Amino acid sequence: MDNQSILAEVKDRVAVIRLNKPEMRNALTEDLTRELIDAIRRMDEDPDVGAMVLTGMGKAFCAGGDLNEFKTNLDKSAPQLYEEGLWSTELFKLGAVVRTPLIAAVNGPALGGGCGLVAMCHIALASDRAALGTTELRLGLVPYVILPWVRRAVGHRKALEMMLSAEVLTAEQAERIGLVHRVVPHDQLEEEALTLARRIASLSPLAVRLGLDAFYTTEQIDLLKSFDVLSTQRIVSFLSEDLREGATAFLERRPPEWKGR
């Protein structure tokens, strides 16, 4: 798939999705947001894709919202603003909905909504040149849509500090607070992300999907109820062909041949 705002390709069961507006630092314009939603959904539904890598073209990962679009919004009605905001809302819902692991390869600045994308991804690797922050208050805005993901990534107190200070963090600072998992040399970032994605894509696709479903489902319910849900899902795993194949392959000392069921 190839279009103006998003570039996507699949190789070795890994989809690489690139934000492709380098002249705008890959800002989340309405058209880029729509195309990004479409790309993630398509790759998530593709049985030949076992992991996704999200990165930016040019020097930035994603600079957040488009300031030109913000200015035009000043003259719009509340219903118009609500309708247009639905695209951003749908984008950030995807992190809890997709069942194909999404890996951020943060190649440069990730600010505002770009920082939210990093927090939304299941795993985040960052270049040593990356910079991250929830900087919306500098513009008189509030990081409404991304707050749930940032809070989950770094914790309540740190997320509050990030929002109120509107500071930009270095990649190393972001790693220390859990916003990214690992910092790597800039010229090694994409290969590190692809290596990780290929490793995940080599696992049982059914087990990966069930694992993500279990993780996000139990996050939204109370502790005791979560044990009941997980006990039910455990039965599905034990009756799956992939578990039988995985155990057999281990005993026979050979690579498993996953069926995804």
* Amino acid identity at 260: G
How far is the C-alpha of 118 from the C-alpha of 3, rounded, in Å? 22
Handedness of CA 8, 11, 15, 16 (dihedral sign): negative
Are 122 and 101 within 8 A, CB to CB? yes
Sequence-separated contacts (24+) of 72-78 with Cβ below 8 Å: none
Which residues pair with residue 14 across a beta bridge?
11, 51
How far is the C-alpha of 154 from the C-alpha of 179, rounded, in Å? 6
How far is the C-alpha of 105 from the C-alpha of 90, rounded, in Å? 21
Are 24 and 63 within 8 A, CB to CB? yes
In whole angstroms, how far apart are CA 48 and each of 10, 45, 54, 81, 132?
9, 9, 17, 38, 32
How far is the C-alpha of 101 from the C-alpha of 28, rounded, in Å? 22
How far is the C-alpha of 38 from the C-alpha of 91, rounded, in Å? 9
End-to-end CA gap in the chain: 27
Confirm whether 136 is a catalytic residue: yes
Q: Which H or E run contains 126?
A: strand 123-127
How far is the C-alpha of 208 from the C-alpha of 175, rounded, in Å? 25
136, 167, 175, 192: the active-site residue: 136
Active site positions, annotated? 136
